[in-house]
Each structure stands twice: as C-alpha cells, then as structure tokens.
Amino acid sequence: MAAGRCQRVVCGALLFIFFGFPALVGCDDDIDQQIFQPGIQSTLKVAAAKPRRYLLYDVNPGEGFNLRRDVYMRVANLVKKLQDQGSWVLVLPPWGRLYHWKSSMDKQQTKIPWTAFFDLESLNRHVPVIEFEDYIKETGSAEIDEMWYLQSYKDGFFSTGKWEEKVDERECNDRPVYHLDENGRYRGWFWGYDEAYVLKFKCVSAQANAGLMVKPLTENTTARSVMINRAEVLLHDMYGQADYWAARRSMRFSKELRFVGNEFRRKHLNSTDKDDKTIMWEDWRTFKPAVGTAKGGPYLAVHLRRGDFARSHSKNVPSLPGAAKQIRQIKKEQKLKKVFLATDATDQEVKELQKSVKGLVRFKPTKEELNRYKDGGVAIIDQWICTHARYFIGTALSTFSFRIHEERAILGFEPKTTYNRLCADNQTTEECEQPSQWAVVY
C-alpha cells in the first residue's frame, strides 16, 4: 500500500513538472486514461521543434587531402557551436579532383562519399554530419539557398600587419567562378553534381576564427542551407585544445581501410594490435591512452616526399642517397630489420631505395584495390601502417607526415618515436629542426 501511494506521488509530481497541471491520482493505465481523455491534450505545453538547417562547405580546389581534413575540423567545431543556436547539421563535401590523385583512374575519382575514407558513425559522435547525397534526399533536390564565398580583406592583415577578427559582406575581390544561368540560379563546380545550384551568392571577407561565423549564420540569414566556400580562410578557434582534439579523434578511418592496413602489417611486418599494444576502443570519446602505452610493430616507418614537393622544398628534403643513408642509420639505432615506406616516389626511385636499404617494403595496390579504395584510400592505408610502427620518421613541412604524428599521439606513442624528420643532405643537426610536439588534450 505504501509503495502504491509513493508511486502515485512520484507520478503526480512528474506530471506537474512536465505538463504544468495539478497531479492526477493514479499511475500507469490510470494516467494514460486521464492524460488522453478529450480536452486534456490541448493543455499540454510542448515546445515546437526547431527546423533542421544545413551547413555545407568547400575548399580551394588546389588544396590537398590532408589539409582538407584540417579544414573539416574547423568547420565541424563551428557546427558544434551552432548547435547552441538551433538544429544544424554539417553536409560533407564529396571528394574528388585533387591535385595529388594522379593514378590512371583519375576520371573516376569524383562524387566520392566520406564513407569511402572515414567512419561516419565516429564523426557523428562529435557533431551531426551527413553525405551530400543524403542532403539531396532530405531536401528533395540539390538546391542550396545561399553561398558565402570567403575571401581575404584587401586592407587586411597581409597589407597592414594588424590582426583584427572581423567578417563582412563585401564586393568580390576577383571575378566569381560561379555564374548565373538563364533561370537566375548560380552554377559552377559542385563536386561533379551538375544538377546542383545556389539561389543566392555573395562574397564575404573574413579574417577570423571559425567560431566568429556563428553570429552572421544565426542573425544575418534565415536560409535553411548555407554553403561556405573557401572555408580554409577560417582558422581554428582553439588550436591544439580539447575541441580541436575531439574533432581530430572523431576522424577515424573507415573500418575497411583499417582492416586492409592491419592485414598488411600482419602478413609483411609481423605486427598486430595485441602485440603492439595499439588496440583502440570502439568509441573514441572513452579512448584516452596514457603517453607511452603504445609499443608499435617491429619495423621502422618512413614517409618520404618526392616529385614536386622535393623540388620546391629542396632545402628540407634529402636526395634518394641521403634518405637511404639516414634510414639505414635509424634502422640500426632502433635495432629493427624491417622498413615500411610511404612515398610518392616513382617505381624506379623505390627500386633504388630497396637496393640501398634491406628489408624495405611498401603497400602497392593491385588494379582492383586501386579501383576500390582509390588514391585517397591507398594514402590512408599508408598512413595507418606508418601510425603503428615502432619508430616513425617523416618529411619536413608535409601535412601527410603531420597527420601521422597526430594518429600516433592519439594511440599513445612516445613523442620521441613519433616527431622525427629526414634532414636535407647538407643540413647540420641544428639546421634540421624536428617537428613541434603536440600533446592530446581531453
């Protein structure tokens, strides 16, 4: 009897708190009957759901895969702040037409969804994200209400040397690459979707962190969908701090690409997560390994940039003989027999390295694997294998190497086994400055 009276009191209190009318006697079926009797429903105070709004973005076509990943983090944390103002979702820009994707199947590399490279479930644990295809399905078309084309200020930091955060609608500095069609719609490059268009276009000068866009997006427009183009103009709000690392940790590679990398490690490098102490938890939000807990597989991983990068950064990148000499030395110091090489070098250059460095292997995709994983997926497999090495050495100023630094930090590797770079042939130890070390912040 006492328990029954207690339940009625609790139920009555909850009814008063949530619905704003005096407690009704009874619980369970009694409550159902009393709440849903004629006339009661009209007294319930239910807040109206806020309409779902969409933030799209794109990046300068010349930017590479790994810088685009960094821009995603800036925009994702902008969406995180927008969540306080309403129901915003980030629409992911399809991949394709990147400068470094130079394989023979380049023409097929458009309209690539993020699921080809990343785990969307993991991304959604940070902020709500959807593919562009899903945006089309949800809204019923590839129509975008507004495009804000970002640009620098003519009288901004680079001309005055003075940094002041600001965002303003301005005349376009250059002739826009988007044009009006006969129906008054703005057309241009939308990741290969010819049916996509924008209803309203404007140039916006920005000298700001991404978070400064919250106010204009919530106060200066009522558009349901807004696309920020040239999003690389925006900076990180708090570089290297908790939100930065939350966005970064959420960017887990797709399970299929991780599986391919793990199989290569197992077959060719005697490396497994169990032996290497690199087992990840399913949810990145609860995965917080202490520094030094990751051991890594029994191999040295090297990222060596060649081609245009080596030519334009000759003061920081070694020649092939110079790289081979350093690899042999580090391999000996670390007492490792195997070397995994991630590189954009030609097949002939790789053969030359293999003659100079014993035990050197690389991931060479078959035609079928290249068609399935594409250039971006192959690059991720390379990064994943480098991430799990006992010791890693990269290329100075390369965002590819930088992303590997971050992956290794997230797994719990010692900084001294991670933040290393190859030196140019004539650089002294003092001149060959090693990469900056960044600790993961939770």
Residues acting as catalytic residues: 63
Helix and strand totals (H; E) in the chain: 15, 13
- C-alpha span between 136 and 138 (Å, rounded): 6
Cα 10 to Cα 30, 80, 143, 256, 421, distances in angstroms: 14, 36, 50, 50, 65
Beta strands in 193-352 (DSSP E): 197-207, 225-229, 297-304, 338-343
Listed in sequence order, the residues at least 6 apart from 299 whose beta carbon sits closer than 8 Å to its beta carbon are 269, 270, 271, 336, 337, 338, 339, 340, 389, 390
User: CB-based contacts of 197: which residues, under 8 Å, 6+ apart?
Assistant: 142, 143, 144, 181, 185, 186, 187, 190
Residue 434 structure tokens = 């090693």
CB 365 within 8 A of CB 378: yes
CA–CA dist 250, 122 (Å, integer): 5
Cα(26)–Cα(5) distance, integer angstroms: 9
Q: What 8-state DSSP symbol labels residue 113?
A: -
d(CA 261, CA 363): 9
Calpha distance 302→340 (Å, rounded): 6
DSSP assignment, residue 440?
-
How far is it, in rounded angstroms, from Cα 386 to Cα 405? 10
Q: Residue 386: which of 400, 370, 369 has the closest Cα?
A: 400
